[in-house]
Amino acid sequence: MQYSVHQLVLFPVAAADTPAVVSLEPCLQTLGLLGERLGAGHFAVGEAFLSLVCFLRVFAGY
């Protein structure tokens, strides 16, 4: 299966804050961020993804 070059990567600020992936996946699915599983560690976006995530572009000079 081919994946898009565009991706959202979630990571903790500090390594000590790393949550257990097993407990994180159900939480993100309940929120609607994750959709169906596409492979190991890869998911389609969930139904609520676009209403919960904001994409911004920062322009230099402001």
Q: Is 6 exposed, middle or buried (0-12, 13-18, 19+ CB in 10 A)?
A: exposed
The predicted-structure confidence for 6-61, as pLDDT tens digits, reads as follows 677 766 677 676 666 667 888 889 999 999 988 887 888 899 988 888 777 777 76
Q: Look up the pTM and report it.
A: 0.59
d(CA 6, CA 42): 12
Residues 6+ apart with CB under 8 A from 47: 32, 35
Which of 15, 13, 40 has its CA nearest to residue 25? Answer: 40
